Chain A
Amino acid sequence: MYVYDDFDQRIINERVAQFQDQMNRYLDGKIPEEEFLPLRLQNGIYVQRYAPMLRIAVPYGMLNSQQLRKMAEIARDYDRGYAHFSTRQNLQYNWPKLEECPEILGKLAEVQMHAVQTSGNCIRNTTTDEYAGVIAEELVDPRPYCEIIRQWSTFHPEFAFLPRKFKIAVNSVEGADRAATRMHDVGIQIIRNDAGELGYRVYAGGGLGRTPILSSVVREFLPEEDLLTYLDAIIRVYNQFGRRDNKYKARIKILVKALGVERFSELVEAEWEHLKDGDGKLPSEELERIKSHFTEPDYLALEADPSTYTDALASDKAFARWVERNVRAHKKPGYAVATFALKQKGTAPGDVTDSQIFAFADLADKYSFGEARSTHQQNLVLADVEQAKLYALWQEAKALGLATPTLGLLTDMICCPGGDFCALANAKSLPIAEALQNEFDDLDYLHDLGDIDLNISGCMNACGHHHIGNIGILGVDKKGEEFYQVSLGGASGEDAAVGKILGPSFARNRMAEIIRTILDVYVDQRIDGESFIETFRRIGMDAFKAAVYPAKDSQAKA
């Protein structure tokens, strides 16, 4: 993991001091509300329905146990004993006191954490594959590039007031995209060219929100050392020409679409001509310096699938089930990557209590070299666990309520905070998640359904990624009442797609039944081992429509 040097630490400390000063001036009435807004946003503070929320950056999802403990401490001392992992791999506090936020940021700085640019119209936290560095399929570890981007984007003097927020994702696996790269303003795919040199395919103009768009290729191959100058060029073009008259048309996706990707690329290339041979080009020493922070931990030479492990699998069905869903192969023999779902019945997806975080930090120390990761599906990962110790780990995690064997299954939903917390919501989203969790609590049924992404957003801002859920649920307002629109066929990953609307929306109390009907169609129609999305792609929307809106309804209307 990256470890701050004196420079990094000083920058973060100075940031805390700056924000403390801004807060003091605000509380003294010297900064009006409207001008304090971007300042607090750039320090992660939103003011929401009931209280301010504080969003802490977890750069590309990496956490060590010391940081986890600090987060737990803050949840205990400054919040109501819990915190929320977001779909940006970040951590959110829902109930901090506004005036205490600088103090919280000071505590975070002690463990090399911050809330820099987690909100506001600036470059946000860069995200990547939650399995970075531990899987055999990846080309190289993407995290050094994320860290390079983090440093470059932190208080970038030119890009602090962009037309709209700006998100970058990095992926280093061909054929799988756990970072939803093409849904980002800029997507960086790490590749090798024909000569075997390392570099990137650069995408721009993706995004969710009101107008979901997959990004387009701006450059097929960019050499490794040119990462930052090229990003400077893209964002400089965006900063000058992105729309500022309408916040719903201000994302880079709209600019790329309006200009056409060819013209946009021409502008970027012309800008880059001026920048590419300047001091912003990454020297190989800097690449090496950053990469040296992401070396392998001291792995033991182990045999794969030791008998202690295979015996436990054979004798304990519940353990085997958890392994089947939540554990994946590690690049080193005898190790495994384990995911802990933060999707317990009765709590909001992504929520964890302070004591769960404390305990999880202990598990990280005991089983995984003191490191953990957060994922954009709002789960936690221990990435370097010995297979021989998985059984013991599972038992401990189970006692903490963190071992539901449901990764990737229906109940492993993504859900935004919705109307319970968010002032922009059209409808509540958490009660839908809860209703579905209650309706579908039969593990055999869930496992039989297999992989399926169900995503819920409380409004078209799409924080819950409903567009790219195989089943998407969107809260809509119908004459002041909360209704829910269902879309099908969305997907993230390599074959990313935006879902299509099934038809008229439903009242909240019908949602469980509607989802059940949709699942019945799938179960009925699937052929050998097809996943939900595969069946959907084969049979199309009509079969689902027919089941959900039976003919008599439409006759009644006609």
Chain B
Amino acid sequence: MTQIILDKQIANDEWTLVADDAPLSSNKEVINFSRWAAAEGADKDALVTKRDAGTLGIQLNAGDTADLLANESQGFALINVEFPKFADGRGYSAARLLRERFGYTGQLRAVGDVLFDQLFFMMRCGFNAMAMRADQDLDLAVKGFETFSAPYQADVNDTRPLFRRRS
């Protein structure tokens, strides 16, 4: 089973991403946002049922902004945010918006080109899970969360900027 980082620990990945035209089972499965957005009628009902059963995750791909999902996000057990390239930083804004504005509390996972030196930023933006690129060293990675002990800005884990924490 593939391994991921979950809450700063190495964990087994219980979820599978399914192709847009593949049928769904009762396992824990992730669909692309576009499939969710396009679904209508009975298809949509089936997805909602699966979601409410806690076995449907959704993936925001490059260019899908968090406001497309907005408060609908709250029902999912897992949201993936894709980083198509490590230098593409849109996912950081998506994560913060999901956590801070749209009240998402489930597993928020960074997927794609996820590398060691991004983990600290990702954690601060509200990701609690990272599916790292296959060549990354997970044992090393779990140490990547301690780089800065007291950063300047507010983040998802502490809404106070340093200027409200200084004294």
Contacts and interface: CB of A to CB of B under 8 A. Distances in A.
A7 B166 contact: yes
Contacts of A274: 101
Contact of B125 (A154, A158, A280): A158
Interface string A1-20: 00001010011001100100
Interface in A145-161: 151-152, 154-161
Interface stretch (A169-177, A236-244, A455-463): A236-244
B125 A240 contact: no
B88 interface: yes
B154 A162 contact: no
A240 B163 contact: no
Contacts of B153: 152, 155-157
Contacts of A159: 89, 92
A35 B154 CA distance: 27
Q: Interface size bucket, A side?
A: 35 or more
A38 B87 CA distance: 8
B161 A239 contact: no
B42 to A, nearest CB: 33
Interface stretch (B7-15, B46-54, B103-111, B143-151): B143-151
A5 B167 CA distance: 11
Interface string B102-136: 00000000000001010011001100000000000
Given A151-B162, A155-B152, A280-B161, 15 more contacts: A10-B149, A22-B117, A35-B86, A38-B87, A152-B153, A152-B161, A155-B151, A156-B153, A161-B87, A162-B89, A228-B161, A240-B90, A241-B65, A279-B164, A286-B163
Contact of A283 (B89, B115, B163): B163
Interface of A: 5, 7, 10-11, 14-15, 18, 22, 30-31, 35, 38-39, 121, 151-152, 154-162, 228, 236, 239-241, 244, 274, 278-280, 282-283, 286, 289
Contacts of A283: 163-164
B44 interface: no
Nearest to A36: B117
A157 B159 contact: no
- The contact size tier of chain B is 20 to 34
Contact of A239 (B92, B115, B150): B92
A38 B86 contact: yes
Contacts of A279: 154, 159-161, 164
A159 B124 CA distance: 12
Nearest to A162: B89
Interface of B: 65, 86-90, 92-94, 96, 101, 115, 117, 120-121, 124-125, 137, 147-155, 159-164, 166
7 contacts: A10-B150, A11-B151, A14-B149, A18-B148, A152-B152, A155-B121, A157-B124
A24 to B, nearest CB: 12
Q: Which of A121, A160, A228 has the most CB of B within 10 A?
A: A160
A11 B152 contact: yes
Contact of B93 (A15, A35, A239, A280): A239
**Which of B90, B137, B155 counts the most A-chain CB atoms under 10 A from its CB?**
B90
Contacts of A39: 117
Contacts of A278: 154, 159
Nearest to B162: A7
Given A14-B149, A152-B152, A158 B160 contact: no
Contacts of A289: 163
Given A161-B92, A240-B65, A244-B88, A282 B152 contact: no
Given A22-B117, A286-B163, A280 B154 contact: yes
Contacts of A240: 65, 90, 93-94
A5 B160 CA distance: 18
A157 B159 CA distance: 13
B87 A14 contact: no
B118 to A, nearest CB: 8
B117 A157 contact: no
Q: Give 10 nearest A-B pairs by CB, closest first.
A: A161-B89, A157-B124, A286-B163, A158-B92, A157-B121, A151-B152, A239-B93, A279-B159, A14-B148, A18-B147
Given A11-B152, A35-B115, A283-B164, A160 B124 contact: no
A239 B121 contact: no
B150 A11 contact: yes
Nearest to B90: A240
B150 to A, nearest CB: 6
Interface centre among B89, B90, B125, B162 (most CB of A within 10 A): B89
Given A151-B162, A286-B163, A157 B155 contact: yes
Contacts of A38: 86-87
A12 B93 CA distance: 25
Chain A CB within 10 Å — which of B87, B90, B115, B151 has the most? Answer: B87
A220 to B, nearest CB: 26
Nearest to A163: B89
Contacts of B166: 5, 7
Nearest to A37: B87
B148 A161 contact: no
Contacts of B115: 35
Nearest to A151: B152
Contacts of A154: 152
